[in-house]
Structure 1
Amino acid sequence: MITVYDTACGSLNMGDEIIMDAVMLHLESIFTHEQFCRYPTHYALASKTLKKAWKNPLAFVGGTNLLRNYWRFRARKNQWAIGFFDGFQMQPAILMGAGWNSYAKSPEWKARVFYRNALSKEYIHSVRDNYSLEKLKACGVNNVINTGCPTLWQLTPEHLAQVPSVKAHQVVFTLTDYSRDIEKDSQLVECLKKNYQKLYFWAQGSEDNQYFDELIQLKPQIFENIERIPTNLKSYNQLLINNEIDFIGTRLHAGIRALQFRKRVIIIGIDNRALEMHKDFNLPVVERHDLNKLDHLINSQWQPVINLPVQAIKDWKAQFKL
């Protein structure tokens, strides 16, 4: 039995579902005869449940923005709902593509103590970018390598060679409710309307639809006549499977999902996740303040080239096959 701390269960962001799909795909390929027991990271668990999670010989944490500069004593106050003192009792966990939640100063003492105790000293941890790696090292966790997010691991050169090098006639875009910029988001959609015959909107986060409704009210000439697809991952997958379509938007993992389905992708970078993964792996990202570059990029011929840390991924997986 293997414990998996599931970052998608109870999440308000379907990007976590995309991450956990990749996490389980790779874990199941490594551990072909073991059973996985999944526990949510978003909600504090009862002590009886925690004891069950902690008795298993291995415990993995599935990616996402789980790590941060501070840690609270009470579990429900933490991004990963484990209390400070639980770090001294739990089965030490193994990170799998985890990342730091934002740009921040030096980690406080409770965070440093928690990570040194709650994270395995026996196994190497996997993080999604070098920024997260350096933050963990600042906490005294040195057995860590940068593998990128598990959602990238299938984006091999052979896979990416099948992505169209020129634009489609349709595009699906995303917006981000917690990073609103009415002028920049309007500029984004105006550019898409100029370059594509058909626009689709997909809400990845819990209040993205509400933000889109507000934009329709504020700027109807820009945001009307856009088809909204159902707010679930299955519908988004089907749109990608059944159409020749591009993705352009502010939601990182909606973009990575489109790359997984061999679609042309431009991610609009609004936070440290997209920016750091662009820096480390050449993920196709245009920063929000550089939207004037978008029109040229849409109409240029290019092929995505992701610099996968292939050896790091192999090394991380190999430690469980000894």
Structure 2
Amino acid sequence: MIVVVDPGAATTNLGDKIIAEAVERELIAPLRNAKLDVHRVPLHGTLTDGQRELIAQADDVIVSGTNLLSDHMRFRRSWQWDRKDIELTAGKLTTFGVGWWQYQRSGIDPLSARWLRSLRGTHAWAVRDEYSARRLGKAGVHAAHTTCPTLWSCSTQTLPSNERRAVVTLTDYNQERAADEQLVRALNSRFDEVLYWPQGPGDAVYLTSLAGVGPEQILAPTLEAFDAALLAGDTAYVGLRLHGGVRAIQLGVPSLILSVDNRAREISKSVDLAAPSRFAVNEIEHAMRSGEERKLAIPTETIDGWRRGWTG
């Protein structure tokens, strides 16, 4: 039996829903097609006794998505389960599309490295970027760079060109008011219509606090509203939310993702995704009109080999 730890269950961030769709399509469906017994438990929140029992009985546990890893896993974890619950996965844990929590200078502490090694199962840990793979390797955990599963179905990224309308995301968890208001001014100058999608629970409040953003520009906080706005025609995506931008790429919509932390930055380095810094004003203004089409360097051979290790 395989238990998949699902980031899309019990989440308040709609980016996790985008990840969860990819987990279903790229992992769970192939496992079930191979006649394997697969169960889900939520990544977020507290486990029930029944869910703990599933984990205890599982042959393998695959935890999916999110910034799960850090230099101090044993002490300060991004994974918010109780440590005793995480330790139910000992000897059978694998990751799928996870990555490192921010840039950390010190290197993983020896106790955390030993703890991670005690959790690992027999399969390589699939991570979203080469940086995370290197960090795990230094901890003695075999890892494979398979990028984020949300990108597995994507081959190219097209940057905006002459679209009339933009759908935009900013973020409440990494606020830079001066830079964000400068971006709003650039967007209002470049596009005839600018709409904003609140991917996270605090985004709408932050968006309406910015000069140049009105409440009538805020879309409903649903994935359905976001998809509909992207697909309305003559529309491009520009934004700070990584998975909002990936969703646009999935839908064939021109997309410019702006880096605010190591996630987009390291994925950019690993698969040649265009993701300039939010502070790179001239580069952003050029990219909003470039129309460049970039071939993404998706590591398909590594992906296929990793997935065959499960499905045969």
TM-score (norm 2): 0.91
1:125–1:316 CA contact under 8 A, matched in 2: no
Which residue identity is paired with 2:127? V
1:302: Cα distance to partner? 1.2
Corresponding position of 2:73:
71
Corresponding position of 1:196:
191
Corresponding position of 1:138:
138
Which residue identity is paired with 1:154? S
1:72–1:84 CA contact under 8 A, matched in 2: no
Corresponding position of 1:155:
154
1:294: Cα distance to partner? 1.6
**How many pairs does the alignment contain?**
309
Which residue identity is paired with 2:209? E
Corresponding position of 1:186:
181
Q: Is 1:263 aligned to 2:253, yes or no? A: yes
1:153–1:308 CA contact under 8 A, matched in 2: yes
Which residue identity is paired with 1:10? A
Take 1:268 and 1:106, find their aligned partners in 2: how far apart are those partners? 27
Inter-CA distance 89–3: structure 2 relative to 1 (3 Å threshold):
closer
Which residue identity is paired with 1:119? R
Which residue identity is paired with 2:10? G
Inter-CA distance 243–64: structure 2 relative to 1 (3 Å threshold):
same
| SS of equivalent to 2:276 | strand
Aligned ranges 1:70-89 → 2 under 5 Å: 70-72=72-74, 79-83=79-83, 86-87=86-87
1:282: Cα distance to partner? 1.1
Take 2:126 and 2:189, find their aligned partners in 1: how far apart are those partners? 41
TM-score (norm 1): 0.89
Inter-CA distance 114–244: structure 2 relative to 1 (3 Å threshold):
farther
Corresponding position of 2:103:
103
1:81: Cα distance to partner? 1.1
Take 1:235 and 1:85, find their aligned partners in 2: how far apart are those partners? 36
1:239: Cα distance to partner? 1.8
1:34: Cα distance to partner? 3.5
Inter-CA distance 73–44: structure 2 relative to 1 (3 Å threshold):
farther
Inter-CA distance 24–281: structure 2 relative to 1 (3 Å threshold):
same
Take 1:72 and 1:43, find their aligned partners in 2: how far apart are those partners? 19
| SS of equivalent to 1:288 | coil
Take 1:4 and 1:301, find their aligned partners in 2: how far apart are those partners? 39
1:127–1:148 CA contact under 8 A, matched in 2: yes
Take 2:229 and 2:170, find their aligned partners in 1: how far apart are those partners? 17
36-45 or 2-11: which moved more? 36-45
1:72: Cα distance to partner? 4.5
Inter-CA distance 12–114: structure 2 relative to 1 (3 Å threshold):
farther
1:223: Cα distance to partner? 1.8
Corresponding position of 2:44:
42
Which residue identity is paired with 2:242? L
Identify unmatched segments of 5+ residues in structure 1.
none
Take 1:81 and 1:263, find their aligned partners in 2: how far apart are those partners? 36
Cα offsets for 1:184-242 (capped at 9, x unmatched): 10111111111111111000111111111222xxx2xx223762110011211222233
Which residue identity is paired with 2:245? G
1:53: Cα distance to partner? 1.8
1:306: Cα distance to partner? 0.9
Cα offsets for 1:228-259 (capped at 9, x unmatched): 11001121122223333100010000000000
1:6–1:39 CA contact under 8 A, matched in 2: yes
1:166: Cα distance to partner? 2.7
Corresponding position of 1:177:
172
1:62–1:96 CA contact under 8 A, matched in 2: yes
Take 2:109 and 2:66, find their aligned partners in 1: how far apart are those partners? 21
Cα offsets for 1:246-285 (capped at 9, x unmatched): 0001000000000000011111110000100111111121
Which residue identity is paired with 1:152? L
Take 2:300 and 2:89, find their aligned partners in 1: how far apart are those partners? 34
Take 1:4 and 1:10, find their aligned partners in 2: how far apart are those partners? 14
1:146–1:309 CA contact under 8 A, matched in 2: yes
